[in-house]
Structure 1
Amino acid sequence: MKNKWQEVWSKRQFVQEQSETILESLIKMDGFDTPLGKMTELDWRDYVNNCIKNLDLTVDETVFEIGCGCGAFVYVLCEKGFRVGGIDFSPPLIEIAKKSMPNSSASFQVCDAIDLEEIKSDCIIANHVFHYFPSYEYVSAVLETVTKSESKVLITALPDIIFKKESEAFRMGALTDQEYKEKYDGLDILYFSKSWILYELHRLSPKRKVFFLPHSMPKFPQNEFRFDCLIL
């Protein structure tokens, strides 16, 4: 299943400035270094550590990331000794992830999230990716896969439909009408209601516990318009 977002991410190429660390380059490649919010390496490490805390992760647990991009998130986990793996629909980003990890045991593959049949991992993370999925039916299929795994699951940065108007106004306010059209034409994102997420998760796995958390990423200007979902 291919959409315009897939085309955008599949065109990414690795560029490391002389003064950059590998992690700084991965952060940039994964789209977290923009004029609207440039994250430093320290910001990123703080963010990943907060996710570890929310998931109550210990280093003996395995972590699998859906939509891992070039691996900026799991890079920090890998440094800490976690066994990590992930998938992404962008071949160039997966190649970068494979070459960049500090631990050669990390496992990555090119795969569309909807094509995952089974995930064998203690924890599943989807960081800033669900809004790129092409439809709510697609999201439901991915939720079915992650819930049947019995893993702990953290889905971050879900755009809250309550704040759709404010979120889009923010994006438009940073650009001229022409710039906005050129940059985002055909690049729509999904917005979610917490009630819909709850309904789907209770339908798919009624015994699961679901918690909604505020999204808190340093220097990310749309935190107030997003939320995280923790599934236990």
Structure 2
Amino acid sequence: MENKWKEIWNRRKPAAGGLTGDWEHVYLELKRLNGYDVMGGGVPLDSFLDFHAGLKRLLHLAPGKSVYEVGCGAGANMYLMQREGLTVGGSDYAEGLVATARAVVPAAREMGAMEAAEIPTDEKYDAVYSCGVFSYFPDEDYTTRVLTRMLEKSTHAVGITELHDAALYDDYIAFRRASIPNYDERYEGLSRQFLRRDFFEDFARAHDLSIDFPNLAMANYWNTPFIFHVFMYRK
């Protein structure tokens, strides 16, 4: 999946002193590296932590469980989950971000730089999830390949958050054009994928999974009005 986004993510480096100090500071720096610093005053720690708690609940995670993240970026989610007693693993296509994730999550069961559609499936986890990554996929065929890998790697739950809603495409573009000067020129060649909910319903039906589209809002995040989340479970 070669595109300009990959170049952008590989240029992201930790700020000086960003990975030292208390865990809250490190966690927020990892979130910044994962792209949560692009508009407005940023997302406060409490909003991240509330969203994180909801994510764990929907993935049915508790200490001692295992969880794998597709598109882990700099490892912010894994960093927090490992602190909470979970066995973690992850991957991302940006080698620079994976290097940071390795540094902050040295005990990860798996960690690699690779395309989402190429994650290995021999090692299994209770849950497999992806946060804010599917919008960078090129099309539905690639997305189906990733979902299939995620399901093969999971023994119970699959979760995907921050999916851009195809029904809200016009609203999203209007908001971005109003918020960012010369939006079309600045984001030329940096496309996003907008997905339909029934795309996931079809996948769940084909694989005999239960499915949920939960209300999992991240407070103070500019993207929240334009996205949805989906969680699927083996019956």
Amino acid at match of 1:123: A
C-alpha separation in 2, matches of 1:96 and 1:44: 20
Amino acid at match of 2:172: S
- Aligned partner of 1:161 among 159, 162, 166: 166
Amino acid at match of 2:171: E
TM-score by length of 1: 0.91
Number of aligned residue pairs: give it: 227
Offset of 1:144 from its aligned partner? 1.3
- The DSSP-based 3-state class of the residue aligned with 1:104 is coil
Unpaired runs of at least 5, structure 2: none
* Superposition map of 1:44-193 within 5 A: 44-101=48-105, 104-105=107-108, 107-118=110-121, 120-149=124-153, 150-177=155-182, 180-193=183-196
Q: 191-200 or 16-25, which moves further after superposition?
A: 16-25
- The DSSP-based 3-state class of the residue aligned with 2:89 is strand
Per-residue deviation, residues 149-171 of structure 1 (Å, max 9, x unmatched): 33311100111111110011111
Amino acid at match of 2:194: Y
TM-score by length of 2: 0.90
User: Between the two proteins, what is the percent identity of the paired residues?
Assistant: 26
Asked if the contact 2:51–2:216 (Cα under 8 Å) also holds between the matched residues in 1, the reply is: no
C-alpha separation in 1, matches of 2:113 and 2:27: 21
C-alpha separation in 1, matches of 2:103 and 2:232: 31
Amino acid at match of 1:14: P
Offset of 1:13 from its aligned partner? 1.3
Asked if the contact 1:37–1:221 (Cα under 8 Å) also holds between the matched residues in 2, the reply is: no
Asked if the contact 2:117–2:145 (Cα under 8 Å) also holds between the matched residues in 1, the reply is: yes
Unpaired runs of at least 5, structure 1: none
Amino acid at match of 1:167: Y
C-alpha separation in 1, matches of 2:63 and 2:120: 26
Amino acid at match of 1:173: A
RMSD of the TM alignment (CA)? 1.9
Residue 10 of structure 1 is matched in structure 2 by 10
Per-residue deviation, residues 159-190 of structure 1 (Å, max 9, x unmatched): 1111110011111111122xx13431111101
